């Protein structure tokens, strides 16, 4: 499900905006803030509610909001709160692989990675444990961890399993009662997609996070320990393949965003035939994109 790191990052940016304005002046509208921050209106409303509760903003009778006071530095979220530890570890380890600091057959120094990423060794250890069952990482008898690497055969097998798991999850999603909270989350993500497409050039580097958010929501409606564990592997590989071959990256990501919108429309139809077509169409595109990205990559 959606984490609050996006909210906290946006909240900090709004505090910076408030600090640059005079108390008593009128603050930006929800629409203007959503465009400025490149986040959904839902996220903006949550931020405004929090600022009003903190006494930083004040509502006027005409529904406008004025700045009541400047924020204190202590009211900013700390940097380590604006990104989940799991995301930090995922990104950090993949970057080490891309820079060839970790290669097939090499040991993974958990203590060193934890130090470099400013997280605890237990967080790194817990994250790596999800990959042992699929053979991506091996735990040695002496307690060390070894990266075994992945190739095109691994990518094909991963894509096969992804299609099976996510197709089932999407069918379950379509059958959810309309008052299920997952539909509200889908509304937020759809709004985020529309905002993202409008500000694509400014936000395009955020695509992996939005892609992760969307697919994590779909799979979250299935309570299955195997799906939960698989999500780490899926995220690790699919959300970083763009680093291997950046050629036509913008076009590929625009295609994925468009397919997400078709996927969402199919889910709302609650028609299994439409859902199946949208899911398989999108995941087959993802498979081809992954394999194409690996042609000139290091993997």
Q: What is the pLDDT of residue 243?
A: 52
State the Cα–Cα distance between residues 56 and 23, nearest whole angstrom: 9
For the chain, which ranges sit under pLDDT 70?
1-5, 38, 79-85, 98-100, 228-229, 239-247, 295-299
* Range list for CATH 1.20.120.530 in the chain: 152-294
229-240 residues labelled b (16+ CB within 10 A) or e (exposed):
ebbbbbbbbbbb
What pLDDT does residue 3 have? 47
Pairwise CA distance, residues 158 & 101, whole Å: 24
- Confirm whether pTM is higher than 0.75: no
Residue (of 128, 124, 130, 83) closest to 228 by Cα position: 130
Cβ contacts of residue 236 below 8 Å, gap of 6+?
90, 93, 94, 131, 136
Closest CA to 34 of 195, 231, 225, 274: 195
Q: What is the dihedral of CA 280, 209, 15, 31, to 10 degrees?
A: -20
Check: CATH 3.90.79.10 for 152-294?
no
Q: What is the C-alpha to C-alpha distance for residues 192 and 168, in angstroms, rounded to an integer?
A: 24
> Helices (DSSP H) in 66-139: which residue ranges?
85-98, 110-117, 121-129
Q: Assess if CATH 3.40.190.10 describes domain 5-80.
A: no
CATH 1.10.10.10 fits 84-147, yes or no: yes
According to the model, what pLDDT value does residue 298 have?
47
How would you list the strands of the sheet with 137-139, edge to edge? Answer: 106-108, 145-147, 137-139
Task: Report the run of H or E that residue 5 belongs to, with start and end.
Answer: helix 5-19
Give residue 85's pLDDT: 67
Where in the chain is CATH 1.10.10.10? 5-80, 84-147
Identify the pLDDT of residue 48: 92
């Amino acid at each position: 499900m959606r984490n609050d790191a996006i909210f906290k990052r946006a909240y900090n940016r709004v505090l910076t905006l408030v600090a640059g304005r005079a108390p008593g002046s009128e603050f930006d509208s929800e629409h203007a803030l959503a465009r400025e921050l490149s986040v959904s209106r839902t996220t903006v409303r949550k931020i405004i509610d929090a600022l009003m509760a903190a006494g930083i903003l004040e509502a006027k009778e005409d529904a406008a909001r004025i700045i009541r006071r400047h924020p204190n530095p202590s009211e900013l979220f700390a940097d380590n709160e604006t990104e989940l530890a799991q995301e930090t570890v995922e990104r950090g380890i993949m970057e080490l692989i891309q820079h060839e600091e970790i290669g097939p057959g090499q040991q993974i120094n958990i203590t060193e990675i934890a130090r470099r990423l400013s997280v605890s060794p237990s967080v790194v250890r817990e994250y790596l444990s999800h990959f042992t069952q699929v053979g991506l990482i091996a735990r040695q008898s002496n307690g060390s961890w070894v990266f075994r690497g992945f190739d095109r055969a691994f990518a094909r097998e991963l894509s096969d399993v992804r299609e099976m798991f996510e197709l089932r999850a999407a069918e379950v999603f379509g059958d959810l009662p309309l008052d299920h909270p997952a539909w509200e989350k889908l509304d937020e993500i759809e709004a985020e997609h529309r905002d993202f497409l409008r500000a694509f050039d400014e936000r395009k580097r955020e695509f992996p996070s939005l892609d992760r958010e969307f697919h994590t929501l779909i799979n979250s409606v299935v309570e299955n320990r195997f799906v939960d564990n698989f999500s780490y592997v899926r995220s690790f590989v699919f959300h970083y393949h763009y680093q291997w071959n950046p050629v036509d990256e913008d076009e590929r990501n625009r295609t994925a965003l468009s397919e997400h919108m078709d996927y969402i429309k199919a889910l709302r139809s609650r028609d299994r035939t439409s859902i199946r077509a949208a899911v398989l169409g999108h995941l087959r595109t993802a498979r081809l994109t992954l394999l194409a990205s690996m042609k000139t990559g290091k993997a």
